[in-house]
Structure 1
Amino acid sequence: MESKADGEDSAVSRLHAKAKSALKRLSKGRRSDGSPDADSPRSQDGSSSRSSQISPSSDASVKPLTLLLFHSRNNNVEALRELLKEKPELVNETDYDGRTALHVAAAYGCLKSARVLLENGANVNAQDRWNSSPLADAKASNHQEVMKLLAEKGGKIMGSHGQEIKSVAPPTILKSDWEIDPAEIDLTNSTKIGKGSFGEIRKVLWRGTPVAVKTILPALSDDKLVVQDFRHEVELLVKVRHPNIVQFLGAVTKKPPLMLITEYLPGGDLHVELKEKGPLPSATIVNYALDIARGVTYLHNGPNTIIHRDLKPRNVLIGECNQLKVGDFGLSKLMKMTNFHDMYKMTGETGSYRYMAPEVFEHRAYDKSVDVFSFAVILYEMFEGSPPFSHVDAYEAARQVARLEKRPPFTKQYPTGMKELIQDCWQGDPYKRPLFVNIIPRLEKMKQEAQAANPPAERSHLWQRRTGHGSG
């Protein structure tokens, strides 16, 4: 006869197995770089009908920290106890954003999980990347019981992350000329061009102009954290104005469905361009690189520095006359954490492994130079026709770059100075990477040299209007 203890062990094993099974299902239908299948609908912000993040595990097994976060988020106390019994050091281990399992439990009001974690030595005042403590996260979400427990254990409200979320007042029509009456957006007479976990992206005719409308699911519109994060995103985008940045046009913030309205770019994204054409001509690459560099230079040098953190071909869109525009400024933050995968995406998987700077992969502090590293990988991919270390999965590629200090070989013909620029930009030491404001003159020099070497007739094809890449 099975003993009670045996039965409990079996139940815990089933919980672990269920978590691992859920991760495997999420990983199905994905390519080695973590991107969706070719038949997945794509949006202008790079999201798809499948979850847009890759699994945090490079094989079928799941990391212990990942399991700990998952069980903490779901109040699986028996599984937590068993996992911490086997690996007690996990209790204060941190994810990509410096968040512990106690941060996760506090943010989502998981009282039982919080108790177990504290019983096992969790640091009640651990601080994440934003210097936010578990009590600050619990307060931001108004989880009174968790707040009481943490306070009793000596928890303090530290950091501004949670307080910032609570202090943002809803935008009003009196101070926001970008607030749009939802009656103007006729979603019934529109074309779906993408779908993500947060909602749909549709092509809509608004005030006589085709635009891209990103709707937030009504269910997410009731989530206070999602709504506040959405408003933070709007307040950021409303300040961004540049020819090489996807243009924000307006938003609906007062009632669901929440919506972001941006310009519609029919040319698709750089990922599709590279997939269809492979290596691009040098002159085209230099022009593309200048567009990206100018857009990111604007983000990095405004009154408030904006770090993109997820610069990759899918987030670079193509407009008329082959002009590139940088898009997707963190809409993945709007994802609701309804299961393990979404939770991990929000707390730890910002960015994409294939284009990730070593300091980000290693959970170290970082600054705007992470965008410089990603830019170097994009440059390399445009010349070579495929991303670095394409023979291995994205996580392993990032691991080799960060921990083994590997860089891919150059196999194609590069213009003078380009290899040196790429090598400077993907330096392991972020302080040795050039600023974008200094990258632009180097690219302009390459462009001038290419123009001097080629008569205008040979360059005319570069400025022909693109066709055939529309999203609908």
Structure 2
Amino acid sequence: MEDDYQTPRFTIGRQSSMAPEKIPEPSIHSEEEVLEDGEEIDGGVRLMYLCNEGDVEGIKELLDSGIDANYRDIDDRTALHVAACQGLKDVVEILLDRGADVDPKDRWGSTPLADAIFYKNVDVIKILETHGAKHPMAPMHVKTPREVPEYEINPSELDFTQSKEITKGTYCMAMWRGIQVAVKKLDDKVLSDDDQVRKFHDELALLQRLRHPNIVQFLGAVTQSNPMMIVTEYLPRGDLRELLKRKVQLKPATAVRYALDIARGMSYLHEIKGDPIIHRDLEPSNILRDDTGHLKVADFGVSKLVTVKEDKPFTCLDTSCKYIAPEVFTSEEYDTKADVFSFALIVQEMIEGRMPFAEKEDSEASEAYASKERPLFKAPSKLYPHGLKTLIEECWQDKPAKRPTFREIIKRLESILHHMGHKRQWRVLLSLFFCLVSGFCLFMSSLTCFFFHVFISDEAIDMLSEFRAQEET
């Protein structure tokens, strides 16, 4: 992590009027983060997570420890915004009782009351009104023929003087309003390519609708001048591919937690009401690590809505064929279960420490999938927590309908992680028991030696002296 990276970054749940409808997913490790080198989670970030999960006791504990109830994230959202969007009236009441401002405005000018009205959270609306929240004014009508999108960023605000390439030569790092951001440029060379321009606009249309802790955060875009750009949060810890190159294999507990992060992000994409999104390029280099150790799904350049019909077949020119489902490769009809297939390969790779069909070329790997071949499980069975190998095999079933949904996958992974936690507790107890037994045995051994010295050794010495005296005589 660079030394000049200062602002903790965070996205959660529904956000202003830009976010789609979402069913909250259960979380079992809001505070049990995957961190390295003894780092601690920012208290404000933890507050936002707990408010999204509705963890009343956890919120009280944090506020009692001195965390500011008016903490703001990069988009100036507060915990009250999150609770109002999610319709959590108990959380709203706690925050207001602990001094939360009732009418803070986020980056888009939305207040908690405006968010509660948009998501039709009646109970929250009543509570906010009781505490004096003001109803938002109607927006001004733009009279110019060409309206500027609310997410539009002035390109002069982007500082590329210390820019560096991030991944695939597509994204680069820049400074925007004092923070580091990732910028994806549409070069002048491809502006004449209608297909590339369409993909750019499609990705932009998807990103501005997404708000979830396990999805990369969209910050804005440059669309009124050239080059056109998409600006997202910059995650200095890099992607999962880089981590796997360094670590080779991940510890089973880490792999399961990472799998949960990916599954939560993908479940969000697949369950957007009306317009579920198929990622189609789910692979380690498109999964980023944030500063709290969580994973976030990124790069929606080839993603598409389930309801949108394609004009031409999806090809391996668009992405790596090492991770795409066989039905996509063979140009058959496919749905969100194609992402489930890719997910299984990633989870196996985290345990095995090697890419799927590493010895094959991309196209050869895809042909193997289509022929019902799957990567072998070569790692020792002890590295696969109970139930994980079976889950992987179900996720890469040849028939998409037999693969579980990400909502089902989340439940299975939570159960696996829970079982691992109990197993670790028993190991600790057994270790403690054996330590006590060893200590007791050592004590008894020392006590035996002591009695031997006091009651036996003197008699042995007398007998030896008497024997020597007889021998001399």
TM (norm. structure 1) is 0.54
Instruction: Give the aligned partner of residue 40 of structure 1.
Output: none
- Work out whether residues 314 and 331 of structure 2, in 8 Å CA contact, stay in contact via their aligned partners in 1: no
Cα deviation code 1:75-115 (max 9, x no counterpart): xxxxxxxxxxxxxxxxxxxxxxxxxxxxxxxxxxxxxxxxx
Instruction: Give the aligned partner of residue 398 of structure 1.
Output: 366
Distance in 2 (alpha carbons) for counterparts of 1:366 and 1:331: 15
Distance in 1 (alpha carbons) for counterparts of 2:156 and 2:170: 18
Instruction: Give the aligned partner of residue 184 of structure 1.
Output: 157
Instruction: Give the aligned partner of residue 123 of structure 2.
Output: none
Residue 375 of structure 1 deviates from its aligned partner by 0.4
Q: What are the within-5 Å matches in structure 2 for residues 108-147 of structure 1? A: none
Work out whether 1:367 is the aligned partner of 2:335: yes
Q: What are the within-5 Å matches in structure 2 for residues 1-400 of structure 1? A: 174=147, 176-187=149-160, 189-194=161-166, 201-303=171-273, 304-330=275-301, 349-400=317-368
1:274 maps to amino acid = L
1:411 maps to amino acid = A
Cα deviation code 1:308-327 (max 9, x no counterpart): 00111111111123210010
Q: CA RMSD, aligned part only?
A: 2.8
Cα deviation code 1:323-375 (max 9, x no counterpart): 10010101699xxxxxxxxxx99766343221121112222111110100000
Work out whether 1:437 is the aligned partner of 2:407: yes
Distance in 2 (alpha carbons) for counterparts of 1:173 and 1:312: 38
Q: What SS does the aligned partner of 2:174 have?
A: strand
- Over 3 Å counting, the alpha-carbon distance change for 1:446 and 1:202 in structure 2 is same
- Over 3 Å counting, the alpha-carbon distance change for 1:404 and 1:347 in structure 2 is closer
- Work out whether residues 231 and 253 of structure 1, in 8 Å CA contact, stay in contact via their aligned partners in 2: no
Q: What SS does the aligned partner of 1:354 have?
A: coil
Residue 225 of structure 1 deviates from its aligned partner by 4.3
1:314 maps to amino acid = S
Q: What are the within-5 Å matches in structure 2 for residues 442-461 of structure 1? A: 442-454=412-424
Cα deviation code 1:212-254 (max 9, x no counterpart): 1112112323444433432232121100111101111000001
Cα deviation code 1:365-394 (max 9, x no counterpart): 111101000000001100000022222223
- Over 3 Å counting, the alpha-carbon distance change for 1:353 and 1:202 in structure 2 is closer
1:395 maps to amino acid = S
Distance in 1 (alpha carbons) for counterparts of 2:288 and 2:163: 19
Larger gyration radius, structure 1 or structure 2: 2
Distance in 1 (alpha carbons) for counterparts of 2:341 and 2:145: 39
1:251 maps to amino acid = A
1:180 maps to amino acid = I
Identity rate of aligned residues, in percent? 45
Residue 203 of structure 1 deviates from its aligned partner by 1.5
Q: What SS does the aligned partner of 2:278 have?
A: coil
Distance in 2 (alpha carbons) for counterparts of 1:267 and 1:294: 20
- Work out whether residues 194 and 201 of structure 1, in 8 Å CA contact, stay in contact via their aligned partners in 2: yes
- Work out whether residues 280 and 302 of structure 2, in 8 Å CA contact, stay in contact via their aligned partners in 1: no
- Work out whether residues 186 and 200 of structure 2, in 8 Å CA contact, stay in contact via their aligned partners in 1: no
Q: What SS does the aligned partner of 1:203 have?
A: strand
Residue 410 of structure 1 deviates from its aligned partner by 4.3
Distance in 2 (alpha carbons) for counterparts of 1:454 and 1:228: 51
- Over 3 Å counting, the alpha-carbon distance change for 1:215 and 1:414 in structure 2 is same
- Over 3 Å counting, the alpha-carbon distance change for 1:406 and 1:448 in structure 2 is closer
- Work out whether residues 199 and 301 of structure 2, in 8 Å CA contact, stay in contact via their aligned partners in 1: no
TM (norm. structure 2) is 0.54
Distance in 2 (alpha carbons) for counterparts of 1:195 and 1:369: 27
- Over 3 Å counting, the alpha-carbon distance change for 1:224 and 1:185 in structure 2 is same
Q: What SS does the aligned partner of 1:276 have?
A: helix
Count of matched residue positions in the alignment of Structure 1 and Structure 2: 275
- Work out whether residues 278 and 303 of structure 2, in 8 Å CA contact, stay in contact via their aligned partners in 1: no
Distance in 1 (alpha carbons) for counterparts of 2:192 and 2:330: 35
Instruction: Give the aligned partner of residue 121 of structure 2.
Output: none
- Work out whether residues 237 and 291 of structure 2, in 8 Å CA contact, stay in contact via their aligned partners in 1: yes
- Over 3 Å counting, the alpha-carbon distance change for 1:369 and 1:202 in structure 2 is same
2:282 maps to amino acid = L
Unaligned runs of 5+ in 1: 1-170, 334-343, 459-472
Distance in 2 (alpha carbons) for counterparts of 1:266 and 1:451: 30
Distance in 1 (alpha carbons) for counterparts of 2:145 and 2:408: 40
Distance in 2 (alpha carbons) for counterparts of 1:288 and 1:182: 35
- Over 3 Å counting, the alpha-carbon distance change for 1:214 and 1:415 in structure 2 is same
Unaligned runs of 5+ in 2: 1-143, 305-311, 429-473
